[in-house]
Amino acid sequence: MLQRIFFGNYMLSVALLSWFTAQVCKTIINCVLSGKFEAERLWGAGGMPSAHSALVCSLFMAAAKSQGVNSPIFALSFILAAVVMYDAMGVRRETGEQAKVLNRMLTDWMSEENNFDLDETRRRLKEKVGHTPLEVLSGALLGILIAVIIPVP
């Protein structure tokens, strides 16, 4: 059934299903909190839950179920998950924080000039690129849960 959808590959199927589920959840949560639907949330980075964390955690859990925890595939997928989640909470989150500061600085500077309309002269830097630890944890738990629920063929 599910494993036939994505090239007959159980691990890929579980990982992509987890990513998709997280992106849909992220879009719904964002819509409820902001009061507006933003289609970009269906594929964009950042937000609750972390789709990257869901993807890599479901991958390592699917590897554990199908290949065993002593397999090289499990080891690689576990290390990949650790690196991705660390990056989401570190470098990518800091990038988003810097974008907020730069956007605010440019807004202030442009409004002082009174000669430019900020929206017409440049696009804003993307601020939703990283994750808080809670967003990463929720994505990780979602991915693990999906991998646990979907049986190995």
| Cα 99-136-89 angle, rounded to 5 deg | 40
* pLDDT on residue 125: 63
Cβ atoms of residues 130 and 93 within 8 Å: yes
Q: Along the 153 residues of the chain, how does pLDDT read in single tens digits?
A: 554 556 688 999 999 999 999 999 999 998 898 888 888 878 877 788 999 999 999 999 999 999 999 999 999 999 999 999 988 877 766 776 777 777 777 777 666 655 555 555 566 766 666 778 888 999 999 999 999 999 988
Cβ atoms < 10 Å from Cβ of 117 = 10
* pTM of full prediction above 0.85: no
